[in-house]
Structure 1
Amino acid sequence: MTTSRMNHFTFLTLLLVVAIAGMSQGLTLPLLSVMLEHEGVSSLANGFNAAGLYIGILIVSPFMEWPLRRLGYRNTILIGLCVVTVSTLLLPMFRGFTIWFILRLLLGIGDMALHYASQMWVTALAPPERRGRDMSIYGFAYGAGFSIGPLGMLLVDFGDWVPFLAISVFYAAAFIMLFRLKNAFPLPAEASEKGQNRYLYVLRLGWLALIPPFLYGYMESALNVNFPVYAVRNGIPLEWVSLILPSFVVGSLVLQMPLGRWSDKVGRKKVMMVCASTGALCFLLLPLASNNIPALMALLAVAGATVGSFYTLGLAYAADVLPPGLISTAGAIASINFGIANILAPNVNGFFLSTSSPGLMFSVLGGLLALFVVVGYLFGKKPADVRAMNKLNEAG
């Protein structure tokens, strides 16, 4: 197999893996939240339980660069997939707040290894002129899986274990394709980059690119953990919740690749600013929709179309402004930000759900996106400026 064909097969395999990971998260997050809600668990406790997934992500994020550099992309993905598969199969075998929290913690650790390695591999394979497009296709695959995931809640009628068994069949397919890949390793950090703290260096030069993963994490957790509870309490049937939830992801699928190509042409920052402005407006209007199902689906679809690709756009922007040897470091920081946001969101929104104004959780989300726009316009340097600073630092 030629290098070009091998890279193409690797890319397709990574798309399959991330799509399956998206299906898993899209299914387990809302399903377990609704099951705990039916068992009488408070919204605050429910949010804390869901945060177990993201606590796992946060715990392992600072250390992921080490196995990636020593074990390679493929082996790191395989380890993550093993942890996710075992944890998923154990979920229906045990019932209870504590055991589900522990299993969600393990799911987060496995998901982190899987996502981090696959994201970095796609970034390494993509040439700069196609980076936005390739990352958007990667995001499209994740979004497609995530949008299909909640439909698995309909399988509960056949037994609580059926949705989890169904997703495990897809894990098996991912294992088969991964074993056919040749392992690869990230580029080493340059000597000039090793002489200083890599994390501080990345934060100093690429801080604006690392905010979108935080915002995306907050959105994902708010919609998949807290929104089902919000909807059920507003009298929306569970069947409709399983259809409303994918609206956000389906919306992101529509514009995921066009936004990626557009960012290749006009610049990542400009695209993110426009998208964040539109997304902020949608979330600020969401509390007004209340239990109006068409309005909820429309607002979530537009929000998804604009800010549903924030994570991949942020990583692509980081790759634009940072030296190649530091992309894996930026990916680790992005994952940490994503994990922090996903821990904060269920608990903050759980508090709002316990008050008389549960819609405040969407207002806060809209406010965060609006704040990002303001900060980006006022303080964000252009990529050319950051690259120039890079060269000065290396010359010095």
Structure 2
Amino acid sequence: MSDRPKLSIRSNSKMNFMILITATIAAGLSQGMLLPVLSILLEQKGVSSSLNGLNAAALYIGSFGMTLIAERVLGAIGFKKLIAGGISLVLVSLLLFPFFPGIKIWFVLRLLVGVGDAAINYAAQLWVLLMTPAEHRGRNLSLYGMSYGLGFSLGPLGISLLRFGQATPFIVLAFLFLLVLILAITMLPDSRPDKVESGESQVRRFGRCYSLAWFALIPALLYGFMEASLNSNFPVYGLRIGYSTDQIAALLPFAGIGGLLLQFPLGLWSDRFGRKKVLILTGIVGGIAFALLPLAGDHFKVTMVLLMIAGGLVGSFFSLGLSLAADILPRHLLPAANVVASFHFSIGSIIGPGIGGLLMQAGWGGGIFGLMGALYIAFGLLGLFFSPRQKI
């Protein structure tokens, strides 16, 4: 195999890494803003909570669709074009939201945003994974996760921009995406991942990823479920138990703030003590914090602390899970593992808001948090039975 693809991926890696971080922050911003802002606007229009949740899932249906073809598209056009294409798609969609306020058109626009965000995230996280040596994998992927968490945490602040008009959050975010697009086009090299020469079909590579690293791939599913449920269902849940929109806008970022505070330490600890141990501990304790959320009721400070603890502990799940998969799997399976992780994230994100909406419509408003808590605790206990095999 030629060394040229590897060199192109690693060359000027610090600059590439910073640009990838910037693009990932933008992707986090788009999802973190759109989920609560659109949920609140639909709730104010009288849309039912179940339909509201299903509409929110459109973003992740788009992500899911992109995930199915991401590996092939990346191999055909390379990292730079895939990232720039994703940014452009989100930028155009953001500008269209205020001009077409119908729920059906919003569903389509959310699909397109999901496709664009998935393109950005898939290319960025795989590029970071390939350019990072094993001894710094937890650290660098935690920084990548922090960048997405930062964007996602700041996104709900867009709720406060609604006082200046419903179009304001979308226009502000579109302008930021334009700046990131210019940066990506002018600064990123036109590089591609190594070609797969193992002779294995895509389906067989996915199967091997599951057989060798199934435990490491579950965190992406749980993270997607948690993230989408929290930002889509919590605004509706909060309004119904008496929180104002300003209080909701203030509370939601605390889950991300907790993730930002603990993401880097957890990455370092996973490098030192083992990623499996860190995942088990954070899953169990984070699950307990989520399960306690309904008991907080409308007590602002208690809810804030619980969101910060829960978000802080499980906010690293995607990056830690992907790092564990990279520890276990041979290098030629990493692109396939990245697809599977993105696939799981999209599935969790699709079903999360819908389940939460149905639980609220059935009268169990806090049920989504109890369910999340149970899932994270079960995952932690499941880790006690996982023994990773050696790379082959």
TM-score under structure 1 normalisation?
A: 0.94
Counterpart code for 2:85: I
The CA deviation string for residues 223-247 of structure 1, in whole angstroms up to 9 with x for no partner, is 0000100000000000000010001
Contact persistence 2:9–2:193 (CA under 8 A): no
Rounded to whole Å, the distance in 1 between the matches of 2:204 and 2:236 is: 43
Work out which of the residue numbers 193, 196, 204 in structure 2 matches 1:189.
196
Contact persistence 1:187–1:324 (CA under 8 A): no
Rounded to whole Å, the distance in 1 between the matches of 2:161 and 2:381 is: 44
> Aligned residue for 1:359?
366
Contact persistence 2:291–2:369 (CA under 8 A): yes
Work out which of the residue numbers 7, 29, 32 in structure 2 matches 1:26.
32
> Aligned residue for 1:123?
129
Q: State the SS of the aligned residue for 1:166.
A: helix
Q: How does 1:111-260 map to 2 (within 5 A)?
A: 111-179=117-185, 180-191=187-198, 193=200, 197-260=204-267
1:3 Cα shift?
9.3
1:189 Cα shift?
2.4
The CA deviation string for residues 253-304 of structure 1, in whole angstroms up to 9 with x for no partner, is 0011011111111111111001001111101111100111101110010011
Relative distance call for 1:195 and 1:350 in structure 2 (3 A) is: closer
Rounded to whole Å, the distance in 2 between the matches of 1:159 and 1:305 is: 33
Counterpart code for 1:97: I
Counterpart code for 1:107: V
1:355 Cα shift?
2.0
The aligned length equals: 384
> Aligned residue for 2:4?
none
Q: State the SS of the aligned residue for 2:57.
A: helix
> Aligned residue for 1:59?
65
Q: Residue 79 in 1 paired to residue 85 in 2?
A: yes
Relative distance call for 1:289 and 1:106 in structure 2 (3 A) is: same
With 177-186 and 38-47 compared, the bigger mean Cα shift is at 177-186
Relative distance call for 1:3 and 1:364 in structure 2 (3 A) is: closer
Q: State the SS of the aligned residue for 1:191.
A: coil
Q: Residue 294 in 1 paired to residue 335 in 2?
A: no
Q: State the SS of the aligned residue for 1:64.
A: helix
Contact persistence 1:73–1:183 (CA under 8 A): yes
Q: Residue 371 in 1 paired to residue 371 in 2?
A: no
> Aligned residue for 1:304?
311
Rounded to whole Å, the distance in 2 between the matches of 1:181 and 1:232 is: 43
Gaps of 5+ in 1: 391-396
Relative distance call for 1:204 and 1:4 in structure 2 (3 A) is: closer
Q: Residue 266 in 1 paired to residue 270 in 2?
A: no
> Aligned residue for 2:105?
99
> Aligned residue for 2:5?
none
Rounded to whole Å, the distance in 2 between the matches of 1:141 and 1:288 is: 31
The CA deviation string for residues 185-221 of structure 1, in whole angstroms up to 9 with x for no partner, is 1122242645971111111111111100000001001
State the superposition RMSD in angstroms: 1.5
Rounded to whole Å, the distance in 2 between the matches of 1:186 and 1:325 is: 10
Q: State the SS of the aligned residue for 2:101.
A: coil
Gaps of 5+ in 2: 1-7
The CA deviation string for residues 348-392 of structure 1, in whole angstroms up to 9 with x for no partner, is 1111101222111111111101111121112x113xx242xx2xx
Rounded to whole Å, the distance in 2 between the matches of 1:13 and 1:195 is: 30
Relative distance call for 1:173 and 1:195 in structure 2 (3 A) is: closer
Contact persistence 2:64–2:346 (CA under 8 A): yes
Contact persistence 2:255–2:307 (CA under 8 A): yes
Relative distance call for 1:125 and 1:44 in structure 2 (3 A) is: same
Rounded to whole Å, the distance in 2 between the matches of 1:331 and 1:196 is: 14
Counterpart code for 1:136: S
Rounded to whole Å, the distance in 2 between the matches of 1:336 and 1:213 is: 8
Counterpart code for 1:101: F
Contact persistence 2:59–2:111 (CA under 8 A): yes
Rounded to whole Å, the distance in 2 between the matches of 1:186 and 1:159 is: 43
> Aligned residue for 1:394?
none
Rounded to whole Å, the distance in 1 between the matches of 2:101 and 2:243 is: 26
1:4 Cα shift?
7.4
Q: State the SS of the aligned residue for 2:12.
A: helix
TM-score under structure 2 normalisation?
A: 0.95
Contact persistence 2:9–2:192 (CA under 8 A): no
Relative distance call for 1:386 and 1:241 in structure 2 (3 A) is: same
Contact persistence 1:7–1:125 (CA under 8 A): yes
Counterpart code for 1:82: S
The CA deviation string for residues 54-83 of structure 1, in whole angstroms up to 9 with x for no partner, is 111112211110011121111111111111
Q: Residue 334 in 1 paired to residue 341 in 2?
A: yes
Counterpart code for 2:34: T
Work out which of the residue numbers 323, 331, 335 in structure 2 matches 1:316.
323
> Aligned residue for 1:393?
none
